[in-house]
């Protein structure tokens, strides 16, 4: 069967990998680099992801895929330390002692917060979808902890939508990060980054006869009887991994869900500036919500320079001078001189992921197109929080689904 896959991100690559042994596959990718949000910059001696990434011990589908691709030996389990920046000070918040020393919550507040993180796995996510995180947190931990701890985090990630975010998203996010030892969170990464994984899986696809077209946006998608036409080329099956809004732009009749964009500034520095902490949330006003000290996580020796990410989210369009604002604020807050900065790159994706607002799940379930398999960030596998694991499972489900569609239409496989 001749199948087109729209989008060369993780889900699209996984679908193509599963289908390519028995079918004629063509991937359409609008950018010049495969991987989507998992794509990389290539800086001579090393590659580094455009957007920070890691995975978790429970990511069974992704770990199985790495095993199939003979990349298991590339897996590293590293410590993810955390902290917060507030009023000019970086506070480490990884160990129990560090949390006890944090001055902006009382001991009873910390105890209440600890109990909440322990019981998050007991909540039924389906019952929380229609409830806002704000309302849920007020009920669970009270206004003080909400205002001083959770609200700044929600605001940094969702901006003006912070008060509308679903409690299901929040609980899922807290639950996945509550599996930690006294030394910190155990996070997965690949030896020298995800670039080799992307090269390996795409290489497998092309070796089996699949075609990958980079810098090839889909501008038209039409169905006539049982045949799909992608940019006027005929296909018997379609898998789409791009946002519903982008599908609508090329004429696909599909419902829509709100998305938000991601802006990620990556920098190479001459010196370390995060006090050895991997992930620092900012509670002060800033044009970014988190500072990720990548080389406080992955070995510095891979890069020979200190890698920092500044993460920001936006709806609509980002401000025109966002990069300059981020650099200026970062230098001021973290005592960095312009001469300390070796290079900077800003990546923007206006469709980085859905906004998981209260009541999202019913809208997600309405996202269907007859005869087309959908495997985007909005899919059930990425609910209520997008992840590498969710994208792998979405791609694998879509590959099975497109075969099922063909069988229902009586096509030869």
Tens digit of each residue's pLDDT, the chain (413 residues): 999 999 999 999 999 999 999 999 999 999 999 999 999 999 999 999 999 999 999 999 999 999 999 999 999 999 999 999 999 999 999 988 999 999 999 999 999 999 999 899 899 999 999 999 999 999 999 999 999 889 988 988 898 899 999 999 999 999 887 666 666 789 999 999 999 999 999 999 999 999 999 999 999 999 999 999 999 999 999 999 999 999 999 999 999 999 999 999 999 999 999 999 999 999 888 999 999 999 999 999 999 999 999 999 999 899 999 999 999 999 999 999 999 999 999 999 999 999 999 999 999 999 999 999 999 899 999 999 999 999 999 999 999 999 998 878 776 66
Indicate whether 365 and 248 sit together in one domain. Answer: yes
Indicate whether 133 and 159 sit together in one domain. Answer: yes
Per-residue pLDDT reduced to its tens digit, 55-107: 999 999 999 999 999 999 999 999 999 999 999 999 999 988 999 999 999 99
What pLDDT is recorded for position 297? 96
Answer whether residue 74 is part of any domain: no
Q: Which H/E stretch holds residue 78?
A: strand 75-80
What's the CA gap between 188 and 63, in Å, rounded? 10
Indicate whether 106 and 160 sit together in one domain. Answer: yes
Indicate whether 170 and 218 sit together in one domain. Answer: no
Nearest Cα neighbor of 362 from 264, 254, 257, 229 is 257
The CA-based diameter of the chain, rounded to the nearest angstrom, is: 67
What pLDDT is recorded for position 406? 80
Indicate whether 118 and 178 sit together in one domain. Answer: yes
What pLDDT is recorded for position 331? 98
181 φψ region: left (φ > 0), alpha (ψ -120 to 50), beta (else): beta
Rg over CA atoms, the chain: 22
Q: Are 157 and 3 in contact (CB under 8 A)?
A: no
CB atoms within 10 A of CB 14: 27
Structure tokens at 314: 């936006």
Looking only at the bridges linking them, the beta strands covering 279-282 and 290-293 are antiparallel
What is the total count of domains within the chain?
2
Indicate whether 133 and 175 sit together in one domain. Answer: yes
Backbone angles phi, psi at 4, to 5 degrees: -105, 140
What pLDDT is recorded for position 180? 65
Q: What 8-state DSSP symbol labels residue 99?
A: H
Indicate whether 368 and 388 sit together in one domain. Answer: yes
Q: What is the pTM of this model?
A: 0.96
Q: CATH number for the domain including 249? A: 3.50.50.60
Indicate whether 42 and 165 sit together in one domain. Answer: no
Q: How distant is the alpha carbon of residue 30 from its chain centre?
A: 19
Answer whether residue 223 is part of any domain: yes
Indicate whether 247 and 361 sit together in one domain. Answer: yes
What pLDDT is recorded for position 88? 95
Q: In terms of residue numbers, what domain contains 375?
A: 2-53+194-256+357-408
What pLDDT is recorded for position 179? 62
What's the CA gap between 233 and 210, in Å, rounded? 16
Indicate whether 233 and 379 sit together in one domain. Answer: yes
In 124-245, where do the E strands start and end?
180-181, 184-190, 211-213, 221-224, 227-230, 233-235, 237-240
Instruction: Give the helix ranges, DSSP H, for 250-369.
Output: 322-334, 360-365
What pLDDT is recorded for position 78? 96
What pLDDT is recorded for position 182? 62
Per-residue pLDDT reduced to its tens digit, 20-37: 999 999 999 999 999 999
In 217-289, where do the E strands start and end?
221-224, 227-230, 233-235, 237-240, 259-269, 279-282
Structure tokens at 214: 């980079």
Place of tokens 């090269």: 199
Q: CATH number for the domain including 157? A: 1.10.3110
């Amino acid at each position: 069967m001749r199948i087109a896959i729209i989008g060369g991100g993780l889900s699209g690559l996984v679908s193509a990998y599963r289908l390519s042994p028995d079918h004629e596959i063509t991937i359409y990718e609008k950018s010049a680099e495969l991987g989507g949000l998992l794509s990389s910059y290539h800086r001579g001696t090393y590659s580094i992801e455009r957007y920070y990434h890691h995975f978790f011990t429970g990511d069974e589908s992704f770990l199985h895929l790495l095993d199939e691709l003979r990349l298991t030996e590339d897996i590293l389990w590293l410590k993810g330390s955390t902290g917060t920046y507030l009023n000019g000070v970086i506070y480490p918040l990884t160990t129990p002692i560090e949390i006890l020393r944090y001055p902006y919550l009382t001991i009873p507040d910390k105890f209440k917060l600890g109990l909440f993180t322990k019981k998050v796995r007991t909540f039924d996510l389906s019952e929380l979808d229609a409830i806002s995180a704000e309302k849920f947190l007020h009920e669970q931990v009270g206004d003080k902890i909400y205002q001083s701890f959770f609200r700044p985090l929600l605001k940094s990630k969702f901006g003006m939508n912070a008060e509308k975010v679903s409690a299901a998203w929040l609980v899922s996010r807290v639950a996945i990060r509550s599996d930690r030892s006294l030394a910190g969170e155990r996070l997965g990464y690949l030896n020298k980054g995800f670039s080799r994984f992307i090269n390996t899986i795409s290489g497998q696809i092309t070796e089996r006869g699949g075609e990958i077209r980079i810098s090839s946006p889909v501008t038209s998608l039409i169905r006539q009887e049982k045949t799909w036409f992608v940019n006027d080329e005929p296909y018997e099956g379609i898998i789409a991994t791009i946002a519903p809004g982008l599908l609508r732009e090329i004429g696909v009749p599909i419902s829509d869900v709100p998305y938000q964009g991601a802006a990620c500034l990556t920098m190479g520095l001459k010196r370390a500036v995060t006090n050895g902490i991997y992930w620092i949330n900012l509670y002060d006003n800033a044009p970014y919500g988190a500072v990720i000290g990548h080389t406080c996580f992955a070995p510095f020796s891979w890069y020979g320079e200190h890698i920092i990410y500044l993460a920001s989210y936006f709806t609509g369009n980002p401000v025109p001078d966002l990069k300059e604002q981020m650099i200026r604020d970062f230098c001021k807050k973290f005592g960095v001189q312009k001469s300390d900065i070796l290079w900077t790159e800003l990546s923007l994706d206006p469709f980085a992921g859905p906004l998981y607002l209260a009541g999202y799940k019913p809208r997600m379930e309405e996202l269907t197109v007859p005869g087309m398999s959908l495997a985007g960030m909005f899919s059930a596998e990425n609910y209520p929080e997008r992840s590498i694991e969710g994208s792998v499972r979405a791609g694998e489900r879509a590959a099975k689904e497109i075969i099922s569609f063909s069988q229902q239409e009586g096509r030869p496989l």
